[in-house]
Structure 1
Amino acid sequence: MKPVLEVKALTHTYSAGTPFEHKAIEDVNLEVMPGEFLGIIGHTGSGKSTLIQHLNGLLRPTGGEIRLDGEDIWAKPKEIRRVRFQVGLVFQYPEYQLFEETVFKDISFGPKNMGLEDEEVERRVRQAAAFAGIDEEMLEKSPFDLSGGQKRRVAIAGVIAMEPKVLILDEPTAGLDPRGREAILAQLRDYHRQKGNTVILVSHSMEEIARNVDRIIVMSHAHKLMDGTPEEIFSRANELLQVGLDVPQVTKVAMELQRRGLLPDSSIYTIDELVRRLLALKGGEAVC
């Protein structure tokens, strides 16, 4: 299977040639596979936001390239808009970008800009609204009359309505209460399961990443530090902590149990797995 996105030796330098020159990312290589649910984590200033803004052409590389379906997205700069329809990016606090008079019009903004017929636009709006958990009666309301969580859903639906091959979400649950966070994540899981499209989730919450993604990229000081499954990444909990990142609370519990000699390793990142290990331990079974 060929990657849907390829990042090759990507470097981005802000304020190049000035006293404020700063490399936000340097020599990053990465492949993203079709249908993958990928998580990206990193401390503030690690380069993760700069990285994802390259994936749909919002930023142009200082060095290296981004390939979509094997083609350099900047080979034809005048067609970069087409790339943004295929790689949809939901910014942090996207509800601040809502501006239309109804929810329907806001969600339809992207599909209309794609030049689609009205019938197809309506189909996409209603399907995207369903994926985002937006009721039909809400479509004719003003987005400014909605709660924070509902506005967030509308903004996400607006990107889903373009039916991108890759959906990128930058901290999609930021600022929401626990119930709102889980509602958004549940809708994203359903979207990924039903559509089978690639989803990239950027989050500072290790619990969110651990529970939802198949693979994790760890960014640190402008470089890709780690790349692996959640189990592989969180088995290196001490390294993550050393570079200023957190780990899931359940991993911290497992680390303490390992320190006390009660578990052979701490590569645990979900409560279900910890319970399984402890039950096996209680029953005198192998817990590896």
Structure 2
Amino acid sequence: MRIVELFILSLTLPCYAIVFILFIELTVQRINSNTAVSGGGSRSRTQRRRQRMRSLIWTSNYLLVDFLGLLYELIYVIIHLTGDLATSSLAGRFYCQMQVYLSLYLTVLMAYSLTAISIYRRRHFVNLHSEATRSRRRSLFFITALWIMPIITSIVPAYLLIYLNILRITQHEATNECQISYAYGSTIAAIYMCYRLGNIFLLPLSISFACYLTICTDLIRMQRRFTRTCERNVHIRKNLILQILFLFLNFAVFWLPAEIITLYTKSRLLKDTVQVTKSLNILLDPLIITGFDTRFSTAAQR
């Protein structure tokens, strides 16, 4: 199973990097060309350019998180297939800690990034013609806060519970696999498991779904007073609804059951299968984003 995953990741990771770079380059070209030929005053053109650059920043952030998740999974598979990193060594102990906390960090960061891009899409497209007052510097500040939040909400609680011996990190000598083990009779451990599922899945997915419903409601209201002048706005919103819906389903359908299985099962084969499914599932995100992003398809045609 791991060998198959290594083969697929070795082929797809470079392709993912190429798609990621092309997405940024083509979108920037699209922004520059549209700004040059679009009408309106210089102030309105500047606002449209800033708005599109903010959209590029948030979308690129989500794709970057996915790419880091795939890169981590590739390193994880290589180390586990070799089985040469002794857990008794300093490097082995360090890797064991990183394996537990880094995988948790990337999972939470992916959930928060999905929530952030859903909130941004909702704010932008519900108020498609509103004055853009937010700067790129402010967007970068929020993204920086987004990358720090998983440390506060997930890494610190897990570290404290492990430090207090409420949770334990178990190691497997043959495969170098390290994971958090739960004492199912412990009330605190049960509370932490519920908190972890809520923090990673319930809260982010609820917010994303609420944003999806808001955009759907706005689209229904717009179609009732449909005119030819708002035809493009309806088309943009329809593509946006499909993009958020598929990103939402891609994360909820695959990652939520996978997290529950990882928490409760003791079968190593089942855990490996779930991990492979999660890593390969990430590959669908760039296809969803580029497939339903009209700016990317138009830039590619140009």
Q: TM-score, normalised by structure 2?
A: 0.24
Which structure exhibits the higher relative contact order, with contacts defined as CA atoms closer than 8 Å and separated by 6 or more residues?
2
Q: Choose between structure 1 and 2: higher strand proportion.
A: 1
Larger Rg, first or second structure (1 or 2): 2
Q: Choose between structure 1 and 2: higher helix proportion.
A: 2
